[in-house]
Amino acid sequence: MVPGFRDEVGVAVDVMRGFALSMKKKEVKKNKPSLSEPARRSFLNKLLVGLGIIAILEFAGLVMAYLRPKKRQTTSGDIETIVVAGHVESFPVNSVTAFVRGKFYLCRMEDGGFLAVSRKCTHLGCTVPWVDKEKKFACPCHGSTFDITGEVISPPASRALDIYPLFIENQMVKVNTGKQIKRSGFRKDQAVYPKKA
């Protein structure tokens, strides 16, 4: 045998083993998924589930909206918005009668005219009661007061109480609560008078 041959063969074998190990490590790294790939898959799966839930909720909302009964819309001329207040003679002159169903006061003025006045204050919408002793409407929220025609006596309300159209048919007073009329003040033509027989 040639002296030193064995040493050279041993070195060559060692080099080959090192090369094989490094190749194996490279293959393992290629086949091994990176750390960011599972995070990306997890994020996409969560996103898909979230979008699916949103789609199901939207579909359920559409089904519920379709199955829910519709509210009946009334127009200002419907029978249901007409409140029959009563006979003309049942309301004394210079009196105020509250109608809870129609949310208005029926006012009969000194001259015999009628007004259907809203119960809501024009300042901030509080319910305004009639104070019979003082013969005025007094707002309990901010102190506005109104006379029998709904005209402002003292602020902070800046305009008169709203009114509802009313008409007298066969001596029966009827109020259309489907149409509220805003006004700045009282005018004589807003009152409705019974026809004299």
> Six-digit token pair at 15?
């080099």
CA distances from 58 to 54, 62, 63 (A): 6, 6, 9
Exposure b/e, 116-135, CB count within 10 A at least 16 = b: bbbbbbbbeeeebebeeeee
DSSP class per residue in 119-170: SB-TTT--B--EETTTTEEE-TTT--EE-TT--EEESS--SPPPEE-EEEET
Exposure b/e, 70-88, CB count within 10 A at least 16 = b: eeeeeeeeeeebbbebeeb
CATH number given to 79-190: 2.102.10.10
Residue 15 scores a pLDDT above 80: no
Cα–Cα dist 161/152, whole Å: 8
For the segment 20-69, what is each residue's pLDDT rounded down to a tens digit?
A: 667 666 555 555 555 566 787 888 889 999 999 999 999 998 888 888 87
Note the pLDDT of residue 3: 53
Banded pLDDT at 186 (limits 50, 70, 90): confident
For the segment 120-139, what is each residue's pLDDT rounded down to a tens digit?
A: 988 888 889 999 898 999 99
Residue type, 94: N
Q: What SS3 class is residue 76? A: coil
